[in-house]
Structure 1
Amino acid sequence: MITITVLGTGTGAPPAGRDRTVLDAATLVVGGQRHLDAAAVPEGAARVVLGPLAPAFDAIDEHLAKDGAGVVVLASGDPGFFGIVRALAERFGADALDVRPSVASVAVAFARLGLPWDDAVVVSAHGRDLRTAVNVCRAHPKTAVLTGPGSGPAELGAELARRTVDRTMVVASALGDPEHERLERVSPAEAAARDWGGAVSVVVCLDESRTLSPVRTIAGARPTPSQWALAEGDFTHRDSMITKFEVRALALARLGPRLGDLVWDIGSGSGSVAVECARFGAAVVAVEKTADGIGRIRANAAAHEVDVRIVHGAAPTVLSDLADPDAVFIGGGGRELPAIVTACARRARRTVVVAMAALDRVPAVRGALSGAGFVPDGVLLQSSRLAPLPGDVHRLAATNPVFLLWGNRPSDTAIEGAVE
């Protein structure tokens, strides 16, 4: 039995038609102050201004116990899209709801820009950690961010201005309000320098060179790759100086790159690990000290159509201005390797994976992982590949053995020096 009507508001005008009839019959109306002010709530109806959900839901519960009580909840746009419908359904059950959506703010923003949004990734920063939204904006050419207090255009712009590839931000304020609606196209640095007030609805983050994608079948982020641990021939590299695909396969399994993550690839070389992580949707920073390596990383990222931020320099010196990563892959380092592992482990939120050929460095790397509070593990990878021989027969050709060590941070361990 339907007991709660949820009205999505889109234009700022009072509800009309069937929605007006429901509102006029309501004995309790719940909503944000601006929604209540705009809706022309009937004089005899009780009002509850939404703040914390629990007191409002308790008031609804108490009101529903009365005979003939009619409850209306006013919400922005489509209340089933990052909105109040989830919380209402959890408390009162989906069968108790009559949801009447208006146009979602994201749809309005892209309509005003004249852009399709089936290829956009939508992420909410309202009451959530901003770093996920930042990483999605870093990794994808078209992202919509639903804003909230402390996670608005200024905060988003401040992170993107110094830690990502080029992006344009479109700040949409008071969408649907005929008098106050505004869309402003700014750089991340310009967004960071402004006081935007409280009327922002959504921020669209764009790589303007890629605002139109090919025709899509599945909306949102592009599907995860059908293949990974790609062959070495799929990358530009120097004299076979590339992480072999067998090693890459296990490294990717331990790194677990995903949408919303940030991954560092230290000593990136050809960038094969960086590119593969980016293909899974993660934001990626590739750190490489050689100039020719920088060129190869850039070429491989372009060839596989992913964004990889490239930092030219040596670890751990250049790591201080980077955002804290979720996972780190270290594929080089020489005598500096234990110090690099220690520096990365202090910053990594989840995992550090290290590939090395030298047996002598294994104890020091394992000690560095343990010393940073990680639980270390590892394997020696030795593989033999099929290689052709004359006469249409094959032999097994051994590849160089590689030690792969990794450490996982215990879930209850805090991150030393974490930057939010």
Structure 2
Amino acid sequence: MITVVGCDGSPLSQEAMDRLQAASLVVGGRRHLESVRPPERARRIVLGDVPAALAEVDAAEGDVVVLASGDPAFFGILRALRGRGHAPEVLPAVSSVATAFARIGLPWDDAVVVSAHGRDPRTALNACRALPKVAVLTSPACGPGEIAARLAGWDRTLWVAERLGGPGERVVRRTPAEAAASDWADPNVVVVLDEDRLAAAARVHDQPAAPPDGWAHADDFYAHRAGMITKWEVRAVVLSRLRPTLGRLIWDVGAGSGSVGIECAEHHAAVIAIERDPAACELIRRNARSSGVRVVAGAAPEAYDGLPDPDAVFVGGGGLDALGGALARRPETVVATFAAVDRAAAARRLLADAAYEIEGVQLAASRFADLPGGSFRLEAQNPVFVLTGRSR
């Protein structure tokens, strides 16, 4: 029998103690092995090299206890054990995330939990950039300092919870700059908050990643100047190509009213809107007040300096220089719109020279317009070329 026992610093239950006393093999982190003191006769394996430790569990005869932090079914060892064909019994403790929120005194039914442990941290970082309440399970390679440094430019507050349940427990509130300049003790959990958006939330029990309320909103959903907006028919196609989702970072270049970037943010992508016109930047901020879009004022491609690499880029303004600068950052997807045939052709050459797979379409929509007497006519919209490049 394999039993997975969660440890949160509290005394183990009698059931967990009984399983531990009966075990012939005990596997766990060094601090867990030291805190629970398995019987002398039991073989002990420090859980450093996880695949090697799991191989020992596979080959073990007799009862096995695996010690894990908090709730082993929550970003824990249970998934790996089940992936190897085991069906262990789990005796959980309180998860580190639940403990961290309890120490801070915040509800967390509207939080998203992500992990930067043993995986590419981009997804976790982009969740912190996109959403107002995120808990991050850290790793030595991506701890509070690294997370804070890569949130530069986003208005966030960090709570760092160190050594929860242990004698050195500490929970502190820091700005990203303060957290990036500090040293932190392992293990730790980081809670990242956008306090302005949390304070402005109209509904306190929303699910953290609920689907958006539609997409390709009507043009008058946004404040814009003299029709300078990516029309909803075009926006619907652009969104389908950008594929915004949680964990992705999207640049909206030449953002204008910000409509494309805002709708990407509604799909929980992290978004940077880049716009050179100061008046347009103010429009974007008004339109994006509850979406978490970061606005960068400046002309592309110079405004790209210092920004994190995007997963996808939409170029709605800024011309060929903006497109060429974006391609130099090698995003997975680039979508660009043009009204002029010659610019569309030149953009296609840029995408081809950068070894992107290309597709293109011309969109020419006509909208119903009312006439006297209850009839209607077709009102033609300006045709637009939509080019999409995907990295090979």
- Length-normalised TM-score, structure 1: 0.90
Q: Does 1:174 align with 2:171?
A: no
Kindly tell me: are residues 210 and 363 of structure 1, through their superposed partners in 2, closer, same or farther at Cα, counting changes over 3 Å?
A: closer
Aligned counterparts of 1:404 and 1:119: Cα–Cα separation in 2: 37
Q: Could you tell me which of 382, 399, 403 is aligned with 2:364?
A: 382
Describe the superposition over 1:77-110 as per-residue Cα deviations: whole angstroms up to 9, x where unpaired: 001111000000011333xx10111111000011
Residue 80 (structure 2) aligns with: 87
Give the letter for the 1:358 counterpart: A
Where do 5+ consecutive residues of structure 2 fail to align?
Answer: none
**Residue 222 of structure 1, CA deviation:** 3.0
**Residue 217 of structure 1, CA deviation:** 5.9
Aligned counterparts of 1:396 and 1:226: Cα–Cα separation in 2: 28
Asked if 1 retains the 8 angstrom alpha-carbon contact of 2:162 and 2:185, the reply is no
Q: Pairwise mapping of residues 43-54 of structure 1 onto structure 2 (< 5 A)?
A: 43-54=40-51
Asked if 1 retains the 8 angstrom alpha-carbon contact of 2:163 and 2:185, the reply is no
Residue 298 (structure 1) aligns with: 285
Q: After superposing the two structures, state which structure 1 stretch, 189-198 or 233-242, moved more.
A: 189-198
Q: Pairwise mapping of residues 95-244 of structure 1 onto structure 2 (< 5 A)?
A: 97-161=88-152, 164-177=153-166, 179-200=167-188, 202-211=189-198, 213=201, 214-216=203-205, 218=207, 221-244=208-231
Asked if 2 retains the 8 angstrom alpha-carbon contact of 1:115 and 1:211, the reply is no
**Residue 308 of structure 1, CA deviation:** 0.9
SS of structure 2 residue aligned to 1:107: helix
Residue 417 (structure 1) aligns with: none
Asked if 1 retains the 8 angstrom alpha-carbon contact of 2:224 and 2:283, the reply is yes
SS of structure 1 residue aligned to 2:151: helix
Residue 21 (structure 1) aligns with: 18
Residue 294 (structure 2) aligns with: 309
Aligned counterparts of 1:146 and 1:17: Cα–Cα separation in 2: 29
Q: Could you tell me which of 371, 379, 388 is aligned with 1:397?
A: 379
Aligned counterparts of 1:8 and 1:312: Cα–Cα separation in 2: 49
Give the letter for the 1:132 counterpart: T
Give the letter for the 1:258 counterpart: T
Kindly tell me: are residues 301 and 123 of structure 1, through their superposed partners in 2, closer, same or farther at Cα, counting changes over 3 Å?
A: same
Residue 262 (structure 1) aligns with: 249
**Residue 232 of structure 1, CA deviation:** 0.3
Give the letter for the 2:172 counterpart: E
Asked if 1 retains the 8 angstrom alpha-carbon contact of 2:356 and 2:391, the reply is yes
Give the letter for the 1:26 counterpart: A
Residue 331 (structure 1) aligns with: 316
Residue 6 (structure 1) aligns with: 4
Describe the superposition over 1:214-272 as per-residue Cα deviations: whole angstroms up to 9, x where unpaired: 24264xx2312131000001000001110000100000000001101110011000010
Q: Does 1:319 align with 2:308?
A: no
Kindly tell me: are residues 217 and 154 of structure 1, through their superposed partners in 2, closer, same or farther at Cα, counting changes over 3 Å?
A: closer
Residue 361 (structure 1) aligns with: 343
Describe the superposition over 1:262-305 as per-residue Cα deviations: whole angstroms up to 9, x where unpaired: 10011000010111111000111111111110111000001xx2
Kindly tell me: are residues 225 and 348 of structure 1, through their superposed partners in 2, closer, same or farther at Cα, counting changes over 3 Å?
A: farther
Aligned counterparts of 2:231 and 2:361: Cα–Cα separation in 1: 15
Aligned counterparts of 2:113 and 2:262: Cα–Cα separation in 1: 23
Where do 5+ consecutive residues of structure 1 fail to align?
Answer: 411-420
Aligned counterparts of 1:12 and 1:42: Cα–Cα separation in 2: 19
Give the letter for the 1:11 counterpart: G
Aligned counterparts of 2:221 and 2:246: Cα–Cα separation in 1: 23
Residue 347 (structure 1) aligns with: 329
Residue 72 (structure 1) aligns with: 65
**Count of equivalent residues:** 390
Q: Could you tell me which of 226, 231, 240 is aligned with 1:253?
A: 240
Aligned counterparts of 1:63 and 1:312: Cα–Cα separation in 2: 61
Aligned counterparts of 1:132 and 1:16: Cα–Cα separation in 2: 36
Kindly tell me: are residues 226 and 209 of structure 1, through their superposed partners in 2, closer, same or farther at Cα, counting changes over 3 Å?
A: closer
Aligned counterparts of 2:149 and 2:243: Cα–Cα separation in 1: 27
Q: Does 1:286 align with 2:273?
A: yes
Q: Once the two structures are aligned, what percentage of the paired residues are identical?
A: 52
Aligned counterparts of 1:55 and 1:84: Cα–Cα separation in 2: 13
**Residue 356 of structure 1, CA deviation:** 0.8
Aligned counterparts of 1:197 and 1:115: Cα–Cα separation in 2: 23
**Residue 199 of structure 1, CA deviation:** 3.0
**Residue 346 of structure 1, CA deviation:** 2.0
Asked if 2 retains the 8 angstrom alpha-carbon contact of 1:5 and 1:73, the reply is yes
- Length-normalised TM-score, structure 2: 0.97
**Residue 372 of structure 1, CA deviation:** 1.3
Aligned counterparts of 1:119 and 1:298: Cα–Cα separation in 2: 24
Aligned counterparts of 1:36 and 1:409: Cα–Cα separation in 2: 47
Describe the superposition over 1:348-402 as per-residue Cα deviations: whole angstroms up to 9, x where unpaired: 4310000110111112100111111211110010011111111111111111100
**Residue 12 of structure 1, CA deviation:** 4.9
SS of structure 1 residue aligned to 2:373: coil
Asked if 2 retains the 8 angstrom alpha-carbon contact of 1:127 and 1:149, the reply is no
Aligned counterparts of 1:311 and 1:339: Cα–Cα separation in 2: 17
Asked if 2 retains the 8 angstrom alpha-carbon contact of 1:328 and 1:348, the reply is no
Aligned counterparts of 2:346 and 2:215: Cα–Cα separation in 1: 30
